[in-house]
């Protein structure tokens, strides 16, 4: 029960508990605390942004609001019909991250390879055999991993990850991460064989940091929640816990985030190597890569000084870094190659960034959902899915009904809206689609 009268213990009181121990413990607290409180209220405080000294804490708060724009206000409120994952929220003025919904910037992205093949090279060949070969080479669906590591290229990628900062965290929380390298996952992750406007053959896939990224997420969410609790920071929801730049917890998070981002990149490289090998076996000859594009779209990076200067007036005095989180967005810096996929059955785009500073050199990463997964299953039929996928080789199953193109926004409208952000280099149409359930 109560021994020292602390708030943490007081809030654990239950109905009908005696308050006598509490009363005894806090007796005299007012007399003991008065001088401390009085001194606290009149002690001068230095601003950590510009070093100006304020007369007291209240004056410091007013100074920060007036001189540095510190304030908390609601910009907009939007009612949502459902809950979904939020990857990484940032309050840039205070240089912190809010890590929400147990997701740790899943580091999703795309890779595309333009091969030396054209449509005529595939004429008369059964594309179902190519799809089935890819499905055997790449483990699909959530929780499906490799059984062994046998390829030399796979070992090289694993060795690269083992040598990076953050590998110890991955090892501690997901010792099987090596077997996750080269696996696709489920949902909107995909592998496709496509043709561009010149009927050249492209290989295209979308995936992220898999189970190891999710487990690292859960760990850092808990760390952030514990940090806020220790700092007596009230949260309207535990999932809004955040980490402040400069703390060991913040840099541990960034270290593991960067490791997971690199895992996601090499995961896509590994899968693409296997898909290319499947295509080579299907063709009976080597398939060379004429062009390769890698593209993150759920990730965080430090904003460049050039971007920061053009985006806002530089703050006075000392300031932390500005961390740019692209969630559902790609880097569209000037001349930067990028990939913007549609949904299964629709077009995808190879683009080049235009460097629009108002968009923070960013553009959409694809067509977002118009219907939730549950709503899509109630709204659309298997016959509609079959019609939408006509002319494309895919695994016919009801499991993909929530991925029907009608469940997503119109990718062509998305691209029209992004005309100021990216230039379209190639428009791709699918001929083979591979997904996990």
- What pLDDT does residue 70 have? 45
Dihedral sign for Cα atoms in the order 186, 368, 112, 132: positive
Instruction: Identify the DSSP state of 360.
Output: T
Unique residue bearing structure tokens 């809206």: 417
CA end-to-end distance (rounded Å), the chain: 52
SS3 111: strand
> What CA–CA distances, in Å, run from 367 to 45, 141, 174, 403, 418?
49, 21, 32, 12, 12
Residue boundaries of the structural domains of the chain: 22-68, 89-434
- What pLDDT does residue 312 have? 61
pLDDT tens-place string over residues 31-51: 655 565 556 556 777 776 666
Give the C-alpha separation, 222 to 226, whole Å: 6
Contact between 165 and 259 under an 8 Å Cβ cutoff? The reply is yes
> What CA–CA distances, in Å, run from 275 to 219, 278, 289, 436?
33, 5, 12, 15
pLDDT tens-place string over residues 158-200: 999 999 999 999 999 999 999 999 999 888 899 999 999 999 9
Closest CA to 274 of 142, 175, 184, 141: 184
pLDDT of 65 over the 60 cut? no
CATH superfamily of 89-434: tRNA-splicing ligase RtcB (3.90.1860.10)
User: Which spans in 70-189 are helix H?
Assistant: 119-122, 127-137, 152-162, 167-173, 177-180
Give the C-alpha separation, 243 to 227, whole Å: 7
What is the distance of C-alpha 334 from the center of its chain? 23
What is the distance of C-alpha 286 from the center of its chain? 35
Give the C-alpha separation, 198 to 88, whole Å: 39
pLDDT of 25 over the 60 cut? no
The C-alpha torsion from 247 through 253 and 259 to 265, rounded to 10°, is: -130
Token pair in block for residue 242: 């955040």
User: What global pTM score does this model have?
Assistant: 0.75
pLDDT of 104 over the 60 cut? no
Give the C-alpha separation, 208 to 99, whole Å: 18
pLDDT tens-place string over residues 127-153: 999 999 999 999 998 878 888 887 889
The C-alpha torsion from 58 through 63 and 68 to 73, rounded to 10°, is: 40
Give the C-alpha separation, 69 to 420, whole Å: 30
Q: What is the DSSP string of 256-324?
A: HHHHHHHHHHHHHHHHHHHHHHHHHHHHTS---EEEEEEEE-EEEEEPPHHHHHHHSPPPSS---PPEE
Angle at the Cα of 220 (from 214 to 221), degrees rounded to 5?
85
pLDDT of 72 over the 50 cut? no
- What pLDDT does residue 37 have? 53
Residues facing residue 243 across a β-bridge: 97
Region of residue 278 (phi > 0: left; psi between -120 and 50: alpha; otherwise: beta): alpha
Give the C-alpha separation, 148 to 39, whole Å: 65
Half-sphere exposure of 332 (CA within 13 A, CB side): 28
The C-alpha torsion from 416 through 421 and 427 to 431, rounded to 10°, is: -90
> What CA–CA distances, in Å, run from 126 to 64, 130, 133, 227, 273?
68, 7, 12, 57, 21
pLDDT tens-place string over residues 387-415: 999 999 999 999 999 999 999 999 999 99
Q: Where in the sequence numbering do the catalytic residues fall?
A: 365
- Looking at domain 22-68, its CATH architecture is 2-Layer Sandwich (3.30)
Instruction: Kindly report the number of other CB atoms within 10 A of residue 3's CB atom.
Output: 10
Token pair in block for residue 233: 């920071």
Closest CA to 403 of 369, 428, 366: 369
- What pLDDT does residue 77 have? 44
Give the C-alpha separation, 187 to 207, whole Å: 10
């Amino acid at each position: 029960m109560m021994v020292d009268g602390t708030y943490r213990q007081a809030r654990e009181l239950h109905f009908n508990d005696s308050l006598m121990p509490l009363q005894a413990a806090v007796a005299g607290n007012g007399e003991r605390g008065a001088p401390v409180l009085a001194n606290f209220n009149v002690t001068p405080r230095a601003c950590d942004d510009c070093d100006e000294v304020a007369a007291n804490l209240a004056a410091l708060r007013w100074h920060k609001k007036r001189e540095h724009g510190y304030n908390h206000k609601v910009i907009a409120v939007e009612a949502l019909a459902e809950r979904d994952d939020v990857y990484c929220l940032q309050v840039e003025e205070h240089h912190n991250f809010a890590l929400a919904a147990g997701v740790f910037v899943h580091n999703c992205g795309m890779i595309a390879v333009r091969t030396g093949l054209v449509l005529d090279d595939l004429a008369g060949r059964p594309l179902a055999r190519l799809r089935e070969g890819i499905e055997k080479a790449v483990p699909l669906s959530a929780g499906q991993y490799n059984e062994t590591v046998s390829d030399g290229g796979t070992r090289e990628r694993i060795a690269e990850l083992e040598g990076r900062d953050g590998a110890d965290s991955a090892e501690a929380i997901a010792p099987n991460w090596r077997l996750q390298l080269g696996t696709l996952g489920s949902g909107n992750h995909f592998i496709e064989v496509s043709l561009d406007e010149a009927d050249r053959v492209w290989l295209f896939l979308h995936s992220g940091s898999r189970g190891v990224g999710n487990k690292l997420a859960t760990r850092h969410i808990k760390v952030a929640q514990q940090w806020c609790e220790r700092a007596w920071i009230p949260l309207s929801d535990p999932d809004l816990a955040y980490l402040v730049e400069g703390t060991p917890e913040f840099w541990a998070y960034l270290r593991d985030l960067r490791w997971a981002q690199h895992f996601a990149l090499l995961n896509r490289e590994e899968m693409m190597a296997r898909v290319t090998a499947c295509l080579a076996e299907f063709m009976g000859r080597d398939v060379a890569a004429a062009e390769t594009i890698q593209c993150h779209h759920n990730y965080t990076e430090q904003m460049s000084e050039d971007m920061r200067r053009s985006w806002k007036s530089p703050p006075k005095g000392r300031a932390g870094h500005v961390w740019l989180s692209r969630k559902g967005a790609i880097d569209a810096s000037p001349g930067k190659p990028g990939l913007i996929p549609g949904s299964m059955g629709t077009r995808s785009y190879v683009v080049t960034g235009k460097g629009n500073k108002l968009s923070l050199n960013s553009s959409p990463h694809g067509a977002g959902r118009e219907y939730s997964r549950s709503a899509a299953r109630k709204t659309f039929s298997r016959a509609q899915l079959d019609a939408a996928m006509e002319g494309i080789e895919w695994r016919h199953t009801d499991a993909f009904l929530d991925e029907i193109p009608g469940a997503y926004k119109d990718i062509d409208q998305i691209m029209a809206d992004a005309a100021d952000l990216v230039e379209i280099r190639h428009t791709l149409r699918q001929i083979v689609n591979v997904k996990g359930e």
